[in-house]
Amino acid sequence: MSESRAGFGSKLGLILATAGSAVGLGNVWRFPYMTGTDGGAVFILIYFFCILFLGIPCMVSEFIIGRHGASNTARAYAKMAPKGSFWRWVGFLGVATGFLITGYYAVVAGWCLQYMYASAANQLQGDHAAIASYFTDFSASAFLPVFWTAIILLFTHYVIIHGVRGGIEKASKMFMPTLFVLLLVIVVSSCMLPGAGKGISFLFNPDFSKLNSNVFLDALGQSFYSLSIAMGCICTYASYFSRQTNLLKSAVQISIIDSVVAILAGLMIFPAAFSVGVSPDSGPSLIFITLPHVFQQAFSGVPVLGYVLSLLFYALLSLAAITSLISLHEVSTAFFYEELHLTRKKAAAIVTGGTLTVGLFCSLSLGAMSSLSIAGHSLFDVFDFVTGQIFLPIGGFLTCIFLGWVVPRNVVKDEFTNWGTLRSTLFGAYIFSVRYVCPLSILAIFLHQLGVF
């Protein structure tokens, strides 16, 4: 199967597609807020440190497994694992996590589409309370959120069935540059508002008094989530890379794009929020409650500008969410396609149907069927917690142990292609990181999240 296997057609295509997976809702609704509350410039520095010393080695690890295996994530791990060992199941864990997250992520992506529509129809009006109840009523309703989840999954399905080059790569080449342009337009408009300087300094002024262990753990968790690590996406996309691709260099380029977008997202949100004196929060309430209100207030002198920028903002969010969703969908599609020997269309149909069902239950658990809960938490929150806070660190930890300690060194080194004389030094640094630095750091976040310390 590997000879006829699909692949990205160009270096730009593979960088934009993988960066498309990384750039998502996490950049817009978590990074800016964490930066603001965790000490501004101090957090950004620690975040870059985490990206450089932990995120990039973990991304390279997934690249190595994916390209070496040239198959779906489950099989790629199995190909590297000692025969009969449990390591093959780590790949299955990645596929399972990717599958579950697809349904949940599609629900939130669907909300972005509804908000694009609501902006166009000028429905996001009124005071903060009115916009908050618009969101609560909408997300708790039975039909509309499920409708938009279905629309976005069908769109993702359409992209996926056109294959790696004709679907994923082509869509990423269109969506990523558009996303950048939208981002820049909103950043410039936001930074030109009166009082915007306060927002900029909130974001970039170092506040050393905020420095504590939580800041490190937040930065670490955010860097992993933002780079799409441990969900099978990076590994699956790497299975479409060629031997000519320099894995480390690509990981660095993707991380730079992801970090630039995160910082620009901060420059889009904080200047506008501070100019109207609103204190921003994080997560869904930031983008679906606080920001519509901020756009309306900040541009109240020129309402048409507020209207256009709000529309562009939700278009940007939808694009960011779609490119991540495509990568998540591909994880399971590649799995069913290769393991069940189905056509790509049939495999994608199974994934679209399955993740729509997951999304349906997640969405209904927020209101229409609130009995869908576990230990008092809606299914939506349970999925968020179990995949993001349990499966993700376990998968990341096991992947580092696997490459650092289990797979023979020469097999790993063989994937360090195109480095010339720097090869041995970089490989040495990489191995040190995946043997010691990454697993210990991931263990620390995991135990911290579970409240052990």
Which residue, 28 or 196, is less far from ligand PFF as judged by CB? Answer: 28
Q: How many residues bind ligand PFF (CB under 6 A)?
A: 15
Task: Write the interaction track for ligand PFF spanning residues 349-388; mark x where CB under 6 A is met and - where it is not.
Answer: ----------------------------------------
User: Near ligand PFF by CB under 6 A, which window of 68-76, 272-280, 323-331, 434-442?
Assistant: 323-331
102 contributes a contact to ligand PFF by CB under 6 A: no
233 contributes a contact to ligand PFF by CB under 6 A: yes
> Of 234, 233, 236, which is closest to residue 250 (Cα–Cα)?
234
42 contributes a contact to ligand PFF by CB under 6 A: no
Which residue, 139 or 228, is less far from ligand PFF as judged by CB? Answer: 228
25 contributes a contact to ligand PFF by CB under 6 A: yes
Which residue, 131 or 325, is less far from ligand PFF as judged by CB? Answer: 325
User: Near ligand PFF by CB under 6 A, which window of 148-156, 220-228, 282-290, 357-365?
Assistant: 220-228
Of the residues 226, 250, 365, 433, which one makes contact with ligand PFF according to CB under 6 A: 226
328 contributes a contact to ligand PFF by CB under 6 A: yes
The encoded tokens of residue 323 equal 């490119």
What is the number of other CB atoms lying within 10 angstroms of the CB of residue 394? 16
Of the residues 139, 327, 333, 363, which one makes contact with ligand PFF according to CB under 6 A: 327
21 contributes a contact to ligand PFF by CB under 6 A: yes
Which residue, 40 or 94, is less far from ligand PFF as judged by CB? Answer: 94
Which residue, 25 or 161, is less far from ligand PFF as judged by CB? Answer: 25
Task: Write the interaction track for ligand PFF spanning residues 81-100; mark x where CB under 6 A is met and - where it is not.
Answer: -----------------x--
**Residue 311 beta carbon to ligand PFF: minimum distance, rounded to whole angstroms:** 21
User: Near ligand PFF by CB under 6 A, which window of 112-120, 182-190, 222-230, 362-370?
Assistant: 222-230
Of the residues 119, 324, 399, 433, which one makes contact with ligand PFF according to CB under 6 A: 324
Of the residues 13, 24, 39, 395, which one makes contact with ligand PFF according to CB under 6 A: 24
3-state secondary structure the chain: CCCCCCCCCCHHHHHHHHHHHHCCHHHHHCHHHHHHHCCCHHHHHHHHHHHHHHHHHHHHHHHHHHHHHCCCHHHHHHHHCCCCCCCHHHHHHHHHHHHHHHHHHHHHHHHHHHHHHHHHCCCCCCCHHHHHHHHHHHHHCCCHHHHHHHHHHHHHHHHHHCHHHHHHHHHHHHHHHHHHHHHHHHHHHHHCCCCHHHHHHHHHCCCHHHCCHHHHHHHHHHHHHHCCCCCCHHHHHHCCCCCCCCHHHHHHHHHHHHHHHHHHHHHHHHHHHHHCCCCCCCHHHHHHHHHHHHHHHHCCCCHHHHHHHHHHHHHHHHHHHHHHHHHHHHHHHHHHHHHCCCCHHHHHHHHHHHHHHHHHHHHHCCCCCCCCEECCEEHHHHHHHHHHHHHHHHHHHHHHHHHHHHCCHHHHHCCCCCCHHHHHHHHHHHHHHHHHHHHHHHHHHHHHHCCCC
26 contributes a contact to ligand PFF by CB under 6 A: yes
Which residue, 25 or 152, is less far from ligand PFF as judged by CB? Answer: 25
Of the residues 228, 239, 332, 333, which one makes contact with ligand PFF according to CB under 6 A: 228
Enumerate binding residues for ligand PFF (CB under 6 A).
Answer: 21-22, 24-27, 98, 225-226, 228, 231, 233, 324, 327-328
